[in-house]
Structure 1
Amino acid sequence: MPDLILHHYPTSPFSEKVRLILGYKQLAWQSVVIPRIMPKPDLLALTGGYRRTPVLQIGADMYCDTALIADALEHRQPAPTLYPEHQKGMARVVAQWADSTLFWAAMGHNLSPAGAAALFAGQPPEAAQAFAADRGAMRAGMTSLRPGDASAAYKSYLRRLANMLHEQPFLLGAAPCIADFAAFHPLWFSRTVNPAMAGILDATPGVLAWMDRMAALGHGHLSKRSSTEAVAIAAAAQPAPLPDEPFQDEHGIALGSRVTVAAESFGQEPTEGLLRAATRTRFTLERTDERAGTLHVHFPRIGFVLRAVRA
């Protein structure tokens, strides 16, 4: 099977979610460290526009968004599972809440004026300005919590997580599931990336103990690749055959049509290509890049918008 290649950077919270899943499943993977702000020319050669972090590459197949990346890793290595039997729906719902509502409350706290000052302490002012401009462009049109409101919400959510962990080691029981990985990464940013803001965690020692259990899962077995090597790997490969899943048409757009797919919010840069699959869970676009060759770029349905390209 083609190698797993993760395009990420060390302080990316959503990348930490995937790195821990790789550790939980004890998978071998190749690490391609990408810039945390634009430009990202090698990544965009592979995705065609999508620039959020991380992206999972398997040969000439690109998986965007960590919800879909988790599904791809579950397919690659089903055990131990991320989706426990009889709790699949609950696990996915909690994960979706954690990746959105919890994440934005945590980041509103972590990147408050005091948090940003701590995060960029010792760096030239241009670094903070470039990061703020990059993330500001990605948040265009979004409503952001004010820092005080974010911190208050974050405290409430931490108490709710603590309640879920009462008398059990993980959020939904005896073993970690997708809900744990999704809830962990925003808190990891507070504790590890910007520890000046980690005091908010002290009121929930049960959450801290759970974080220790999660961190102990590790990151699996990694080796390093350059981004140019990853592009060459894609160029030398062909997209894998698509699973035989029914076409689910919710848009009146036929397979083979030229379309764009973009996130509903945060990082709405579109990817354009030919619609090769629209199943109940994902979209697949075929696109060609002069450096990377023919590619399939996969997106989850939830959180993404499909549009036809009008001639």
Structure 2
Amino acid sequence: MSALILHHYPSSPFSEKIRLVLGFKQLPWKSVIIPSIAPKPDVLALTGGYRKTPFLQIGADIYCDSALICQVLEHGHPEPVLYPPHLKGVARVFAQWADTTLFWAAMAYNLQPRGAQALFANVAPEAAQAFGEDRRQMSTGMQRLRPPDATAAYRSYLRRLAHMVEEHDFTFGTEPCVADFAAYHPLWFTRQCVPVMADIFQATPAVLEWMDRVAALGHGRMEKFSAADAITVAAGAEPMPVVDDIFQNEHGIALGSRVTIAAESFGTEPTEGELIAATRTRYTVRRTDPRAGTVHVHFPRIGYVLKEVSS
């Protein structure tokens, strides 16, 4: 497998999830720091439209969404195991809940006025305003929890998580799995990015002890890398051949069609390209960029919308 290039920024919760997975697997990786808000021209050169964080680049293959990135890392580097065979179903279901329900409750709690004020305390007012406007645009049409409801939900979820990690070192046993990394990252944001909000953990000390165990896994072996160099890597590489897999055509859209793929809710900017794979777990489109050349951009099926481009 070619070098792993993670496009991320330090305070991104989903990036912390992947940084820890890289640490768990003790992998070397190249770190490209990207802007937290638009415009992101170097990002779009590789993804074609998708601008959520993080994404993983391997040569001329671009993997969007942390759930898919975890699967890609597991496939290329199967030890230690991220999806233990006896937990594969329950760990995936739990991780999906953590990446969605838990994440949005935590962030609605984290970014209520007291947390937002702390987060942007050392930032120019116009920068804080730009961040807020960017996230409003990315969440157009989303139903968001009000702070009191988010606080109540977050407390309940922390108690449930505490029940799990009081019995074991990690969520499902003595070793971490994908469920731990998915549950950890929104809590990490509370503790590390808006510590003024971290008093919510006082009732669940077992959660803090579990967080310390997850954090101790580290971030692997990171090397700084520039966006320009990452684009050069893509331009000089050929995308990996699409492995023959069963074409699951629930949409009536043939391979070779011009399509868009976009997230269902948050960050719905579409990526357009030629549909070259629609398997049980992912979509892949081929697209060409003047700077990055021909790339394959991959998305998970769950959480993403495939549409044919009208001629």
Partner of 2:222: 222
1:62-101 alignment, distance < 5 Å: 62-101=62-101
Partner of 2:58: 58
Partner of 1:166: 166
Partner of 1:8: 8
- Which aligned segments of 4 or more residues in structure 1 are displaced greater than 4 angstroms? none
Measure, in 2, the Cα distance between the counterparts of 1:267 and 1:124: 25
Instruction: Give, in angstroms, the shift of residue 122 of structure 1.
Output: 2.8
Instruction: Give, in angstroms, the shift of residue 85 of structure 1.
Output: 1.1
Counterpart of 1:63 in structure 2: which amino acid? Y
SS in 1 for 2:96: helix
Instruction: Give, in angstroms, the shift of residue 127 of structure 1.
Output: 1.5
Partner of 1:131: 131
Q: What is the root-mean-square deviation of aligned Cα atoms in Å?
A: 0.6
User: What residue ranges of structure 1 are gaps of 5+ in the alignment?
Assistant: none
Instruction: Give, in angstroms, the shift of residue 148 of structure 1.
Output: 1.0
SS in 1 for 2:219: coil
1:260-299 alignment, distance < 5 Å: 260-299=260-299
Measure, in 2, the Cα distance between the counterparts of 1:123 and 1:240: 42
Q: Deviations over 1:114-161 (max 9, x none)?
A: 110111113221111011000000000001000111111100000000
SS in 1 for 2:29: strand
> Is the aligned partner of 1:234 residue 2:234?
yes
Counterpart of 2:243 in structure 1: which amino acid? P
Instruction: Give, in angstroms, the shift of residue 166 of structure 1.
Output: 2.4
Measure, in 2, the Cα distance between the counterparts of 1:166 and 1:143: 33
Measure, in 2, the Cα distance between the counterparts of 1:245 and 1:208: 43
Measure, in 1, the Cα distance between the counterparts of 2:85 and 2:123: 47
Q: Deviations over 1:58-105 (max 9, x none)?
A: 000000000000000001110111111121010000000000000001
Per the normalisation by structure 1, the TM-score is 0.99
Measure, in 2, the Cα distance between the counterparts of 1:162 and 1:261: 37
Measure, in 2, the Cα distance between the counterparts of 1:295 and 1:261: 15
> Is the aligned partner of 1:41 residue 2:41?
yes
Instruction: Give, in angstroms, the shift of residue 241 of structure 1.
Output: 1.1
Provide the aligned length of Structure 1 versus Structure 2: 311
Measure, in 2, the Cα distance between the counterparts of 1:281 and 1:149: 33
Measure, in 2, the Cα distance between the counterparts of 1:53 and 1:119: 18
1:237-252 alignment, distance < 5 Å: 237-252=237-252
User: What residue ranges of structure 2 are gaps of 5+ in the alignment?
Assistant: none
Per the normalisation by structure 2, the TM-score is 0.99
